[in-house]
Amino acid sequence: MKIMIVVLVVFVIAFVVLAVTGAKTNNSNSNTTAQNFQITDYPVVNALGSAIGAFAPKLTISQIQPQLGSFNLQSQSSFQFNVLPDSSNQFRSAKFQMQAANGHPCADVVYVATNPPAALSSLQKQDTLSSKISATATSVSPSVVVLNNGGTVTISRNPGYAGAGCLVALE
């Protein structure tokens, strides 16, 4: 019983600290909207999102056609694969690892949803112009949110990449 009370007190204290930190951060940046939200302005939320994201559904090799886990962009400039639909998960996270030269990634990852919903623009930190979702070009471990209807993913070598090889792998 004593352990349960201690755990409860720790959770209450953590909640109060998070609430106060969030209120302070939000108060200092009152012009924040869904369109200009920057996760880096909210470090506590960013840390929680990373921790919770580890339990989110992930895109696996068995859910893509052809079933390749890595893409060598040294021999060809781009790869395209289909993401199969998954009615049991509304969203899946597709995370990639790639090589970098001078901090610049070797490739871009673009996801185009099949029959995207009208609310596609609510997906933040992604390029949602005409249903395309693009991973950030500044990250060597980009991730995109894949919708349950599936779609296509195109991985293209960056023309300005200075490194010799370019290998992109689905995590």
Q: What are the pLDDT digits (tens) for 20-75? A: 776 665 555 556 665 565 656 666 555 655 565 667 788 889 999 999 888 888 87
pTM of the model: 0.63
Q: What is the mean pLDDT of residues 76-99?
A: 87
CA pair distance 96, 141, nearest whole angstrom: 5
Q: Which residues contact 112 (CB under 8 A, 6 or more apart)?
A: 131, 132, 133, 151, 152, 153, 154
pLDDT computed for residue 118 by the predictor? 63
Q: What is the mean pLDDT of residues 2-30?
A: 78
Contact of 142 with 96, CB cutoff 8 Å:
yes
Which amino acid belongs to residue 79? F
Confidence of residue 5 (pLDDT cuts 50, 70, 90): very high
Which residue from 59, 160, 159, 157 is spatially nearest to 168, judged by alpha carbons?
157
pLDDT computed for residue 96 by the predictor? 86
pLDDT tens, residue by residue, 106-163: 888 888 888 776 655 555 445 433 334 444 455 677 778 888 888 898 888 887 776 6
pLDDT computed for residue 83 by the predictor? 92
